[in-house]
Structures are given as structure tokens and as C-alpha cells.
Structure 1
């Protein structure tokens, strides 16, 4: 009979490996080779005592993705961008002259989606990891990942976010098939139902409203709020009756959203009620011999105002009457004011002096109304001339509110306004305004930004004071500008009053800008279908 070999206990083998066979020989001797033999024998014997696990059910095959594959150069570039995303960052605040590849991923994805490419299967895990860590990437990343990306996300809990932002990984039914739509609406997961309602709303707004009405009273408050928000697409007078009923909802957030949507319907009964209230508070007046605006803010917030979405209790630090006035004015159709002020245009009305210190509150409410109603005439009036400082102009000095007003204007007009603003005031207040300008920046806007950066360098400051704008320039300047900007990469002599080494840092920043623009140009060429 064969001899049975009993290996040394595993703990003893580990001890010999840690201490060395010279200090702790393994049982049976043989030095390092004997230790490895004993470990191998022990491993085989341990595995022989294990029962095979039951095989799990195979997942369904990944769905087909009929989109064309990426060109080889673009595929390699995507792999480089995703690999750089996980590379450790450098220490210190100095970025050097190399482009920041992670900041180019959004542009790469947007361009790839415009061309309708299919994501490479081997890169889907890295793509989903990138989208998990950066929420700003998710819409474009998930669109690029396509049905295979959602299929893969269903197999890994760490990628569950992808299912929340889609139809749960399942394909939506054809919105022209009522039975399939009704079945998913009644039986689907919340994410599936949100996606379904959005698809139906895009196809037929009235049909989506009817679908929502079938289950409205049984939905949770937070779900009602999400579903109600989908009515922004295709909002029309057809929705008025439903929204009026939602004004009596038991959820304050639902009531508030219903009121906001109704105020965007100038012909609605709600808008008429709010206009009547606002006109009782704001009226034409006289300051000496000059026309002005007279304001008498509400003295109470009655039950009918609360039903129409007026929040009675103001935030900390706000007076009740000014709080109520602002809500009434922002919900009033802007066309009302032309009638109220004798046919004056928006610019004339905004230019009238406002009595008793109510100008700031009234203008801020008009700004919110212009944004809500998407009214470009009032947006222009409230923005005023770009050369006038925000604190002295009409509207509001808040750059956040001004950015919202700018977003209403046509793209070319928006870029021209911001270019003139930067030429007059520099870059210190321009960051938020630049964020709403279409990309790549139009030539006058790009030139205005670069000229302002060059002026900042000549002033002797350090470039990191403008790092936000420089980062925007890297992503938003037209790549065709790279050759023209080459002259800025040199290091001129520093004036005596300049910050030490500032020009060297500026030279690095401009070198990085030029190299980033050239890389963006290469990316665009790589993504052009062959």
C-alpha cells in the first residue's frame, strides 16, 4: 500500500516562510525547496476536501448595440483618458504645462455621442467607474455606454447608479402601444416609470398627462413631485386643470411646483389671480414731475394666497411683506406690466425709479419672472448695458441671477454680451457668466477672455488667481486659436513691482492652454468617421 504523507500544519509552514528555513527549518528539511514542496502538498490536500459549488444561473446575454464602433485612434484615446482618471495627482498647486486629461473626458464623450458611436466592450467597466465617481459625466457616459453598459451595471452593485438614471436597465415599450405602456406604468419600478412618463410626454403631452392622472392619488409625495416635474416638457394650457388640482395637494413641494408651472402659462386662471394681487401692490406713480413705480407690499398672506403657492413664513432675515411681494410679482405674467404702465416696453419700465426703497426687491422678482417665463425682452432690460457695473445697473447685482437671465438670450447675443462685460470689468466677476456661454466660445468672446488674462499677467499677479477662468478657457476656447496664442507662452521680463516668478507661472499656464487646445483638436479629428 502507498505510504500516507501527513504534511506539517499550515501554521508551521507559514512560520518557516516568514522566519526563513535557516532559522526555522520546515518539517522534513530540504531548505527552501522542501518548504515549497510541503506547501504545494498541503494545498492539494486542502482542495481535495472541498465540494464543488453549485453553478449559478448564467446571466442573460448582453443586448446588441447596432451603433458603429469607434475609429481605432479614438478608442486608444478613450483608454488613455480613462486610465489617466485613476492616476495619482501631483503634489502642490502647480499644474505644469501638460493638459489635464480628466477634464477632456466630458468633451470626448459629447463628441462621440454626436457621432453615434458604440462604446468598446472592454472599456465599459472603466467608463462606469468614471461615471460613478463623477456625477457630471453620467448623462453622456451612460448614453455612450448604451444598452450593454446598462446590462453590465445590473451585474455590479457599485454601478447601481446607472440603473437609477435610466429605465432600470430594461427597454421601454413603444410609446404608441397603449397596452405595453399601461402595463409598465402599473407594474414598473420607479426609475422605469419616470423614464416612461418622460418618453410619452415627449411623444404626446396630453397622453402623458392622462397616464399620470390614472395613478396620481395613490402615488407617494416624493414620487408625485418627480412626475409633476416631467410636465415642464410640452407645458401648455391642456395641463392647467390638472395643475390647478395639484395646488390643493397635501405636499407643500408639490403645491409649489404646480404654482411655478401655472405661472409659466400666462393665460391661466392662476396667472390672472396672481396678476390681480401684484397689480394691487405695484402701480404707476409720480416722483415730482417724473413717472415712477409705487409699491404697497401685502399686509397679510391670506388662505387663498397660500393655496396659490405663496409661502407665508419667510426665510430667516427676510421681512414678511417683501417676501410676499416677491412671490406675487415673480408669478405674474410679464405682459401685465406693459398694460399696467401705459404701454411702456420692458426697458422703460425697468428704468423707472421705484419709490420707498423697493427697487431691489421688485427688480429681483422681475428677474425671477423673466427666467421662469423665458422672456428675452425682459432679460435684456434687466441685464442692462454690459459696460455698467452690476451694482449700478438695473435688475439685480447677483451674478447667479444674471447668469440665468443670460441663458434666455440667443447664443450669439449671450456671447457678445459677456465679451463686452469682460472688456469693461475684467475677469474677476465673469466666471459664472462664462459658464452659460455656448462652446466653443465665439471668436469675440474668446479674444476678450485671452486679452483679459494677458492684462492680468502684465499687472504682475499670479495666474492661480484666475485658475477657474483658465480652466474654462482650456475646455471652451476654439481649438483653432492655438497657433495665435503661441506668442503668450514666452516668459517676458518681469516688472519691478511684479510678484516673484509670476511671469514664469503665467508662461506655464499659457503653454498648458495651447497644448490642451491642440489636444482637443486632435481628439476632434480622431472622432471623425472614416
Structure 2
């Protein structure tokens, strides 16, 4: 071992045991370093460690030459104003608002920049792309704001490469050109996600591939690939789903039933409609209503269509078969039986279980007319409300804020309302809070939402409310103050892109 190597080892040993047990070794003379003899031992050890680090860095081999990176293409959009850049920098590094609101403001900045035909400055691109990488809703709003250099920079980092792709391009990006040829050879762990990506990219090709390879696939792959058909599901998939109803694996048959439930216009939907028609009768003279019978145990054809087979030991409740028929039959079956519109038809249904199943069907089919009818019948379900047009939803919410129906989940409904709230809903909530008091349930529920939900046009009402709220109502005063601050920030954003 040379003197230099010995010294390196001694420095490491002294650092390990401490200068109280071993003195710091002096540097070898060949290094030409003057020792600091009068310095404390711990200082001399630190000097030695620094010298070791410098030697290690100086002696490091250069990496093999990497291919030169292509130069970023020239920009075709003007950079945003200094004010707009400073506002984005503030949001990314020192946001003056909550995290959730910060994300919304970054999205707003990006949309304003794209609409104005401007881009973010180069010095903000790394921070912007890193911020968007963990937030898909922010990535979707990037638009043209990163500019050519942003696209170039994103392509250099695997974590950023997909940020500037739209949903269709993203689906294609996960699929190799020859995926149809290689898919049958993939192990199960890779076959299912590859099929899901292929289905999103080209539904017809995926369906044809699954049909052609069906008999050679395991039950696990058959069932999971069949489930992937929910992306772009259409009546074109019906022949394959009908084939799956006869599959020997129960897991495959169950998936086929769930997929066909989403296709009420299929032949199975027609068969279920026929079963439902045999169970429903219009009764009454003055007040007409629907009487719904439970079905008998299903025959072999019914079991094939997804009705639970009668058990040999445990008894299957007939309501189970009725629920399965209701879930599978087209909604039009009910209106055909009554000759009335959905709202009038629902008034004729007295069975609470049937109404609950109909809610499930309407949600699965995303039927707006039936959703509005159910809400009108006194079912203020947030999921049903989400199917309604924004204007209708906001008008109903305004009514319910003042007179909440029994069982209403007001926080969920207000939180699900489109942001910012329409002016009428915003005014209603503010007036109701002032009328009910700062400690009311409405104030506690709506307070956290006010900053992001109230539109800028409500600023005068917010200031007036703040003047009237008692000084000791700190919770509500803070919410109103944050709302005004956010409105001021949004105004600055808008002005920065004019």
C-alpha cells in the first residue's frame, strides 16, 4: 500500500472512531499541502476529508460519450408577460392559497395562456412539468403553454414524456405497432394491460383479436379482457358477449352479464324486457299504479341470461331474480307498459326496492330524463344530480339550500356542483349563511368551498357579508377573506394575459 493509500485509509478510520481516540493523520508530502498544525484535531480531520473528496472527484473517469441531444426547435409563440410569469412562479413555489385551490389556479393560468396564444418562459418549464407530472388534471390543461421547448424538454424525461399527449395519443403511446401479433404470446401479467391499451386505441381490432384467440386463452385472461370491452362498448361487441354467456367459467359468464347490462338494446336486453313485461301490471281505476310480481325460478334460458340458478341447498330469494331482470331490461320497457313519460311512470311505482334498482339502472345508463324524474320524485342523490344539465342542477341546489329535503347530503351536492357556482346559486348560499348565522350547519358545510366556488361577480356580496359577520365568527370570516383574496388573484391572472 502506497503512502497516499495508507493516508486515505487512516482518514476513514479516524472519522470512524473519532479524534478523541485517534489523531487526525497529516496529508502525505507528495500532495504539497501545508499542514495546519495549530488547528484542533477535528478541524484537521475535516480538512483531510475535504481533500479526500477533492481527490476522488479529480480522479473520476469521464463517462462514455453520449449521443448529442437535438437542439430544441424554435418557438412559434410569444412568451407571456413578466407579470404572468411571476404569478405562475408564485403558484409553483410559494402559493398564497390552499393546495387544492393552487392546482385550480395553475390550470386557469395554463388555459389563459393557451387562449392568449402565449407560452411560459423557459426558466419556469422544469418546475411546471414537474408539477404537472403528479397531477393528471393539470397535465390535461397544459395545452400549448409549454411551447416548443417545453415539448422538447418533456421528451427528454421519461416521467414527463406523456404529459403533452391527449387521451387518444396516450392510449396509442402504450401500444406497440405489432401488439396484435405478439399479444397471444404474452404472459397473463402483461396480456391484460396490453389488451386494455389496445382496446382504447382500436376497439374493433381488440374485439376481433379476442374473438379469434378466445378458445386458447385462460379463464382469467378471458374474463379480464372481456371486462376491458367497457371502453368503447357498443352493440358491435354483442356477438362476442353472447358467446361468453355460454363459457364454461363462471367468472367469464358473470363479466358478460355485466357488460350486456350496459347494452339494453341487445338481444339479451329484449329477452329481459319480455320477462319484465310478464311481471308488471297496471292496476287501479282512479289512481293507477304498477304492481310488480316476483318471478318464478328461472329456466335454463334464464340462467344463461344471468339469472341466479336455483340453489340445491340455500334458497334464492325471488327478489334476487326480479332485481336482475330490472337491471337488465331497457328503461323503455316501463314507459311502454304505462304509456306515460318517465316522471309519470315513476309516480306509479310503489315498490321501494324497484325504485332503488331503477336508480342503479339510470346511473349505469346515464339517462338524463330518468335521472331528472327520479330527483323530482324526491331522490336528491348526488350521482343522479351529476347527470343533469348544469342549469337544472344549480336551480335545484338553490332550492334545497333554503329547504333541504329529508336525507339530503348537502355537502356532497354542493361539492359536486360545477365551479364556479352560477350567480343565482352563489347569492342564495351567501344570503342563507347570513340568515341562518355563522355557526349554522350551512356555514360549516359551505365555508371551505366558498373560495373556489363563488364567482368573481359575487365579490360585492362577499364584501357585504364580511361586513355583517360578527368579529368572533373567525371560521366564516376567514373563508370570506380567502374568497376575496382569491378573486383578487384571479383578476391579476386575467389582466396579465390582456
Give yes or no for TM over 0.5: yes
Q: Which structure 2 residues correspond to residues 41-440 of structure 1 after superposition, within 5 A?
A: 41-43=51-53, 52=61, 54-55=63-64, 57-58=66-67, 68=77, 71-72=80-81, 73-84=83-94, 99-109=97-107, 112-113=110-111, 115=114, 123=124, 126-127=127-128, 130=131, 139-140=140-141, 151-154=155-158, 172=173, 183-187=178-182, 194-195=196-197, 197-201=199-203, 209-210=207-208, 213=211, 218=217, 220-221=221-222, 223-225=224-226, 227-232=228-233, 235=234, 237-248=235-246, 255-256=253-254, 258-286=256-284, 290-300=287-297, 303-310=300-307, 320-341=317-338, 343-352=339-348, 354=350, 359-384=351-376, 393-394=377-378, 396=379, 402-425=381-404, 429-440=409-420
Which residue is 1:451 aligned to?
431
What is the Cα deviation at residue 504 of structure 1?
A: 2.8
CA distance in 2, matches of 1:307, 1:153: 51
**CA-CA distance at 1:36 after TM superposition:** 5.8
State the SS of the aligned residue for 2:291: strand
* Gapped regions of structure 2 (runs ≥ 5): 27-34, 184-189
- Aligned partner of 1:486 in structure 2 is 463
Deviations 1:306-357 (A, max 9, x none): 433446699xxx983333322321221111112212x122222211252xxx
Residues 1:510 and 2:474 are matched in the alignment: no
Contact 1:419 1:444 in 2 (8 A): yes
Task: Report the CA distance shift for 1:434/1:492 in structure 2 as closer, same or farther (over 3 A).
Answer: closer
Alignment partner, residue 470 of structure 1: 447
Aligned CA distance change for structure 1 residues 182 and 425 (closer, same or farther; 3 Å) = same
Q: Which has the higher contact order (CA 8 A, sep 6+)?
A: 1
Cα distance, 1:110 vs structure 2: 5.9
Is the alpha carbon distance of 1:40 and 1:259 closer, same or farther for their aligned partners in structure 2, counting shifts above 3 Å?
closer
Give the deviation of 1:171 after TM superposition. Answer: 6.6
Equivalenced residue count is: 463
Q: Tell me, in whole angstroms, the C-alpha distance in 2 between the residues paired with 1:310 and 1:403.
A: 30
Aligned mates of 2:68, 2:317 — CA distance in 1 = 60
Structure-1 separation of matches of 2:316 and 2:400: 33
Aligned to 1:93: none
Aligned to 1:390: none
Paired residues of 1:221 and 1:254 also in contact (CA < 8 A): yes
Bigger Cα displacement from structure 2, 293-302 vs 247-256: 247-256
**Conserved? CA contact 1:69–1:120, under 8 Å:** no
Query: Could you say which residue in structure 2 is the equivalent of 1:31?
Result: 39
Task: Give the match's secondary structure for 1:293.
Answer: strand
Give, in whole Å, the separation in 2 of the partners of 1:444 and 1:83: 35
1:522: Cα distance to partner?
A: 2.9
Report if the CA contact (8 A) 1:212-1:227 is conserved: no
TM-superposition CA deviations, 1:424-456 (whole Å, max 9, x none): 219972222234433332222222222233334
| TM-score, length-scaled by structure 2 | 0.73
| 1:492-516 deviation line (CA, Å, top 9, x unaligned) | 448xxxxxx3x23321221112212
When normalised by structure 1's length, the TM-score is: 0.69
The answer on whether the counterparts of 1:7 and 1:41 sit within 8 Å (CA) in structure 2 is no
Structure 1 window deviating more from structure 2 (504-513 vs 514-523): it is: 514-523
CA 1:4–1:148 in structure 2 vs 1: closer, same or farther (change >3 Å)?
A: closer
Largest Rg, 1 or 2? 2
Change (3 A) 1:265 1:104: same
Instruction: Give the conservation status (yes or no) of the 8 Å contact 2:15–2:45.
Output: no
